[in-house]
A and B are shown apart, each in its own frame.
Chain A
Amino acid sequence: MSALGLSPAIAEFALRMGDSCLILGHRNSEWCGHAPALEEDIALANTALDLIGQTQLWLELACEAEGKGRTSDQLAFLRDVSGYRNLLLVEQPNGDFGRTVMRQYLFDAWHLPLLKALMNSTDKRIAAIAEKAAKEVAYHLERSADLVVRLGDGTAESHARMQAAVDFLWPYTGEMFLADALDEELVASGLAPEPGSHKAAWQEHVTRTFADATLKAPEKSFAQKGGRRGVHSEHLGFILAEMQFLQRAYPGARW
C-alpha cells in the first residue's frame, strides 16, 4: 500500500462490502409503505438506512483507495451490472415478507462475524468501518433471527412460507464463503479474514436458529456464484435501472 493509502486490493474489497450493503439496503427499501405492519415497515426502513449508511463508508473507502477521483455517488449511480461486486443473495427479489426476512437473516449471520473479524484489519479505515457497522448489524441479526424463529415456528402457513424461503435462497449462501485470488492477497496482508473462516460461526448460528424455527436446511448444496466477478442474475439490472434512473437521465442532478 502506498503512503497515500492507495491500494487496488482495498478498493476492490470495499466495493464487495459496499455493494452487498447497497443492494440489500435497496431491496429492503422497496418494502417502504408495504410491510405487513407499521412497526415492521419502520424496522425494515431502519435496516435499509443502516445498510445504505454502511455503503457510504465502504464506497468512500473504495474511492480513496482507488485514487481515481471518483466519488461514492458516482460508484453507486454510474456503474453498470458488470461493475457491481455484491453477493447474488442480496439481489434476489423480495418475494413475500418471509423470504425478505430469511434473506436478511442469512446475510446478517454472515455479516456480523465478518465485521468482527474485520475490526482486526491491518488497515485502520477498514477496522473503523467494521467497528461502527458491527453495532448496527448485531441488532439486525437479533431482529432477523427472532423473526425467523417466530415465523418458522408460527402457523402452518408461515412455516410453509419460511421453508420455501430457505429452499429458494439456500443456493445463494455458498458464495459468501468462497475465496479467490483477491482474498488470498487480503489475507496475506492481514487486511481481511479468509472468507471460509467464519463459515463455522454462520453454520452454528443457522443450525441453532433453524432448530428453534423448526426449519430444515437443504441437504444438497450447490453454490450459485459470480457476484464478486460482476456476473449477476437478471434481477440486478432491474434494481440498477430503478436506482440509477435519475442520475442517468439527468446527469449530475443534485438533491
Chain B
Amino acid sequence: MSSEWPLWEVFIRGQHGLNHRHVGSLHAPDAEMAILNARDVYTRRNEGVSIWVVRSSDIVASAPSDKGPLFDPANAKVYRHPTFFDVPDEVGHM
C-alpha cells in the first residue's frame, strides 16, 4: 500500500453565480480531508464560497498528441464566430 496520500484537484467558486474554477491540487487521505485542506490551502484570502474536490486520477484528459486533430480544424472556421453581424449602436458594449 502506498503511504502517500492521493492527489486531489481543487475547484473554487469565487462568487455566487460564477463557475467553479480550477485553482490547484493537494494531497489528502480522503474527500472529507481534501475539502478541509482545500479550505486551508486555497481560501485563506477570502477567495471562495464553495469548494469542489475530485481525485486527480478520476480526471480524463485529452492527449497532448491529439492537439492537431482535435483543435486545428476549428482554426479555419471563422464563420463560427459571430463577427459577421453589425451590432446596432443601441446595444452598447457586448
Contacts and interface: CB of A to CB of B under 8 A. Distances in A.
A38 B32 CA distance: 17
| A contacts with B: majority SS | helix
Contact of B37 (A39, A139, A142, A150): A39
Interface in B8-66: 26-29, 32-33, 36-37, 39-41, 44
What bracket does the count of chain B residues touching chain A fall in?
10 to 19
Contacts of B32: 146
A146 B29 CA distance: 12
A42 interface: yes
A46 interface: yes
A37 interface: yes
A38 B26 CA distance: 9
A42 B5 contact: no
Given A37-B5, A146-B32, A42 B27 contact: no
A142 B29 CA distance: 17
Contacts, number: 28
Contacts of A42: 40-41, 44
A139 B35 CA distance: 12
Interface residues of A, number: 11
Given A37-B5, A146-B32, A43 B27 contact: no
A199 interface: no
Contacts of B39: 139
A146 B39 CA distance: 15
Interface in A34-57: 37-39, 42-43, 46
Contacts of B5: 37
Given A39-B26, A39-B27, A46 B36 contact: no
Nearest to A40: B37
B36 A43 contact: yes
Nearest to B36: A143
B40 A46 contact: yes
Contact of A146 (B26, B36, B40, B41): B36
Interface in A111-156: 139, 142-143, 146, 150
Given A42-B40, A142-B36, A146-B33, 12 more contacts: A38-B26, A38-B41, A39-B37, A39-B41, A43-B36, A43-B37, A43-B40, A46-B40, A139-B39, A143-B36, A146-B32, A146-B36
Closest 4 CB pairs of A and B: A39-B37, A43-B40, A42-B40, A42-B41
Interface of B: 5, 26-29, 32-33, 36-37, 39-41, 44
Interface of A: 37-39, 42-43, 46, 139, 142-143, 146, 150
28 contacts: A37-B5, A37-B27, A38-B26, A38-B27, A38-B41, A39-B26, A39-B27, A39-B28, A39-B37, A39-B40, A39-B41, A42-B40, A42-B41, A42-B44, A43-B36, A43-B37, A43-B40, A43-B41, A46-B40, A46-B44, A139-B39, A142-B36, A143-B36, A146-B32, A146-B33, A146-B36, A150-B29, A150-B33
